[in-house]
Amino acid sequence: MHLALSLAALAVVVVLVSGLCRRFDLPAPLVLVAVGALGSFLPFVPEVHLTSEVVLIGLLPPLLYSAALQTSLVDFNANRRPILLLSIGLVAFTTVGVAVTVYYVIPDINWAAAFALGAVVAPPDAVAATAIARRIGMPRRLVTILEGESLLNDATALVALRTAIGTAAVLSVWSIGLYFLIAAVGGVAAGLAVYLVVAWVRRRVDDPVLDTSVSLVTPFLAYLLAESVHASGVLAVVIAGLFLGHQAPVLQNASSRIAERLNWRTISFLLENAVFLLIGLQARWVIRDVQESDVPLSTVLTLCVATFLAVVLLRLVWVFPARYLLVRPGTDPDSHQHPSWRYTLVLGWAGMRGVVTLAAAFAIPERFVYRETLILVALVVTAGTLFVQGSTLPWLVRRLGLPSPDPREDALARAALFEKASAAGLDYLQLHRDDEDQWNILEELRRRAEQRNTAAWERLGGTHPDDETPSEAYARMRLEMLNIERKKVLHVRSTGAVPSDVVEDVLATLDVEESMLDIRNERRAELEEGDTVRGHVGAIATCEHLADAPHDIDSRVTDVCEDCVEEGLTTWVHLRRCLSCGHLSCCDSSPRRHATAHFHATEHPVMRSAEPGEEWRWCFVDSRLG
């Protein structure tokens, strides 16, 4: 009962604090660490002792697996060189640098203990990086590199820690290299094996409940399988998660993917925030143990400050030479420019520590001298990087002027991709144009594809931004209808005239339809903050029509659809300009769709957006954005 109450209280605090942080736009990781540290000194708060087994087996696998599922394998592969340099090279560099620092501060400590602390504080945390980087709107490439680094560096640090513990005072480059090779190869093999088994199961399971159950046990199976052969369980979990997430559209049906996504979002939310709270709750007993040890307070403080500075500075010292001597980055796919030194500086400053550092600290054997001090140092480095780097990172990103993902560029890329997908689907319908269609199914399918494309294009700014678009009007009215329909079903349920199973099935159907409505209450506010939209994000390879078309051309009129005016109409959503003749007409999200009609009448292939702040072009022939 005591344990159940403690867990319930932990969950309540996590939900309450996280909810308040979202409402007041505060960084939840920092606030939760502070709340935990303050709470640990309250007399009515029980003392919480985390063990390495609880963190490494109970918390770390699901956290890493959830992060891996959401990480793009394509983006990961595209940035593999900087990711590997950070997750392996920087961890080794930091481990050695911190070990030398510790040995300099405490000369009578043995090298095994010094290297153990170096391995403990070396890896930045996937949870902290993702939570803070996504919140402040960092460039996507930086977020991908940070996520990839944080997923793999845990394996490097834990292998280094085990090597330091296992070899005691005898450390050799060959033994470390061999141990790391075995752990890495074994971890990758275990992760691939679990991926193949789970993939085989998923091809034969259609029930979302069973599929989600398989997903929940997968990270633990991968971790335990790798650890049973003395390989890296962390690496096995990451590999399994990356491949299963990448292959999910092929292996799972839509219901299973939705169920898995929602379940892991909930689990990840609770575990991520619980970890930060638990980090703070360790403060009281860790400080008490250090006070009861024989280590002078001045030595403890010196070691804490020196290790913290070493962790921060060593990362900055590593990232700049690695960038210019080893990585030599090409042009950014979003901006088509070489990333400046500002990206490297932010990458060097974003080195927050978290759950792995905490877990690894508790894994230091009790036979090691200064163990209590080493654990305190790890806690100080974790909390210090979260507060110092985590709190100043938003300011640094803003000060350096790094661009955050542009919602208008995303909306344009989304619309272009929908258009491309719909073109493929409509080509398939053309193969069945001669089939008997007494129910007019083909026309209905075409209409639904056009409605989806229209809703996607309407996410962009319009000529009349304050007017309600057709899709928004449809969503608003359909929501009102659904509310009335749901009230009627609930009234019928209260009479008991219809079986409860039937009522629940109807209510579930209404819920699914409501969740699918394209509601965009915050669309206008987001789009107003964007810069000029040029169509770089998500653009598909250019075509000869886009290459030959001019960037712009003058029109006879401005701000009106010529065809609509001729027909006596004054309502349209977006305007497009033909780059062959300058004709100005409305797009497919407008009632009359004069832009497409102009293309069919003249066969002029390319049109340009005529909306303020938009410079993108569209090829009607190849359905390509440029």
| Domains of the chain as residue ranges with CATH | 2-403 (1.20.1530.20), 408-528 (no CATH), 544-625 (3.30.40.10)
CA torsion through residues 320, 321, 327, 332, sign: positive
The region of weakest confidence among 176-180, 195-199, 247-251 is 176-180
Torsions phi, psi for 547 (to 5 deg): -65, -35
Residue 373 has pLDDT above 70, yes or no: yes
Neighbours of 312 (CB within 10 A): 18
- Give the pLDDT score at 128: 66
Residue 316 has pLDDT above 90, yes or no: yes
Q: Which residue has the higher pLDDT, 500 or 170?
A: 500
Please give the Cα distance from 59 to 53 (Å, whole number).
Answer: 9
Calculate mean pLDDT across residues 358-367.
Answer: 80
Band of the pLDDT at 329, cuts 50, 70, 90?
low
Task: DSSP for 325-376, please give it.
Answer: III-----TTTSS---HHHHHHHHH-----HHHHHHHHTS-TTSTTHHHHHH
Around 380, how many Cα atoms within 13 Å sit in the side-chain half-sphere?
Answer: 22
Q: What is the DSSP letter of 469?
A: P
Calculate mean pLDDT across residues 313-322.
Answer: 90
CA torsion through residues 7, 8, 12, 18, sign: positive
- Give the pLDDT score at 534: 62
The model scores a pTM over 0.85: no
Residue 333 has pLDDT above 50, yes or no: yes
Tell me the pLDDT tens digit for each residue of 70-102.
888 888 888 888 888 898 889 989 999 999 999
Percent of the chain with pLDDT over 70: 88
Calculate mean pLDDT across residues 520-536.
Answer: 53
- Give the pLDDT score at 488: 93
What is the b/e burial string over 179-213, where b = at least 16 CB atoms within 10 angstroms of the residue's CB? bbeebbebbbbbbebbbebbbeebeebeebeebbe
Please give the Cα distance from 423 to 417 (Å, whole number).
Answer: 10
CA torsion through residues 363, 364, 366, 372, sign: negative
Torsions phi, psi for 301 (to 5 deg): -65, -45
Rg over CA atoms, the chain: 29
> Is 524:465 a contact under the CB 8 Å cutoff?
yes
Q: Encoding tokens for residue 141?
A: 């490439």
Q: What is the dihedral of CA 584, 587, 590, 593, to 10 degrees?
A: 90
Tell me the pLDDT tens digit for each residue of 444-494.
888 888 777 777 777 776 555 566 777 778 888 988 999 999 999 999 999
Crossing angle for the helix pair 111-121 and 140-167, nearest 10 degrees? 160
Calculate mean pLDDT across residues 218-240.
Answer: 92
Q: What are the Cα distances from residue 598, in Å, to 535, 583, 615? A: 22, 8, 20
Band of the pLDDT at 193, cuts 50, 70, 90?
very high
- Give the pLDDT score at 169: 45
Task: DSSP for 98-116, please give it.
Answer: HHHHHHHHSTTS-HHHHHH
Tell me the pLDDT tens digit for each residue of 246-301.
999 889 988 888 889 889 989 988 888 888 898 888 888 888 888 888 788 888 89
Strand ranges of the sheet holding 575-578, from the earlier edge strand across to the other edge = 584-586, 575-578, 606-609, 617-619, 624-625
- Give the pLDDT score at 525: 45
Please give the Cα distance from 552 to 533 (Å, whole number).
Answer: 14
